[in-house]
Amino acid sequence: MKLSIIIPVFNERETIEQVIAAVKQTPYDKEIIVVDDGSTDGTQQVLAEYKNDPQIRVLIQPTNRGKGAALRRGIATAEGDVIIIQDADLEYTPEDYPTLLKPIEDGRADVVYGSRFQGGPGRVLYFRHMLGNRFLTFLSNLLTDLNLTDMETCYKVFRRSIIQGLVLESDRFGFEPEVTAKLARVPGIVIYEVPISYHGRTYDQGKKITWKDGVSAVWAIFRYNVLP
């Protein structure tokens, strides 16, 4: 089973090398697709150092279009049997790949979500962020009739044939509710959720998501579940 690990990146010069190193150490047949989303902090210069690495493909978005746009580009070019989404900010660790992949390897699942709320170790941080995540997941579940605990998680794993078969539109963080809504409508699909660890960052450490992204997520949940 070959993995395609897609890493969307925007202004992560301080962490991108560590993330790539951690992903490379995972014991899988894999391709690593890094999609730079118009970084302006020197990230692209760091990524240029990987141009001769046969395991890594670097794609450059000329302007900042958002995480969803970067993921769409990476997904379209992926060639592995299974696709994993990996953030570039060290909040999620590739040490969780075996847990994420096991339901697919065992033939029990087509899609796996890694949940930050199923009992894995995690840094204690923002209470309001936790409430926001739980609210968005509740709203999404209400409309999809899924029973996820963490719809907004970065760690989503897909059989490539399934994710490439979806028509995705969101440019920014609306990717999470959109892909969830569209997966819920795929006939016969089996979705699993497994506990993962989470090492959250503070805003001083570079965390980017804000309340505005939460409002956009609410709109995306209604748009992709209710509107035609």
Question: What's the Cα-to-Cα distance from 113 to each of 65, 87, 152, 204, rounded to whole Å?
Answer: 25, 14, 9, 28
Phi-psi region of 18 (alpha: psi -120 to 50; beta: other; left: phi over 0): alpha
Residue 152 confidence (pLDDT): 94
Residue 126 confidence (pLDDT): 67
Residue 131 confidence (pLDDT): 87
Residue 5 confidence (pLDDT): 98
Residue 204 confidence (pLDDT): 63
Residue 128 confidence (pLDDT): 79
Residue 121 confidence (pLDDT): 72
Query: Would you say 150 and 143 are in contact if contact means Cβ atoms under 8 Å apart?
Result: no
Residue 132 confidence (pLDDT): 85
- Is the domain spanning 3-225 CATH 1.10.468.10? The answer is no
Residue 136 confidence (pLDDT): 96
Query: Would you say 35 and 10 are in contact if contact means Cβ atoms under 8 Å apart?
Result: no
Question: What's the Cα-to-Cα distance from 139 to each of 143, 145, 181, rounded to whole Å?
Answer: 7, 10, 11
Rounded CA-CA distance 194/217 in Å is: 23
* pLDDT tens for each residue of the chain, 228 residues long: 999 999 999 999 999 999 999 999 999 999 999 999 999 999 999 999 999 999 999 999 999 999 999 999 999 999 999 999 999 988 999 999 999 999 999 999 999 999 999 877 776 666 777 788 899 999 999 999 999 999 999 999 999 999 999 999 999 889 999 999 999 999 999 999 999 999 875 656 656 666 677 788 899 999 999 986
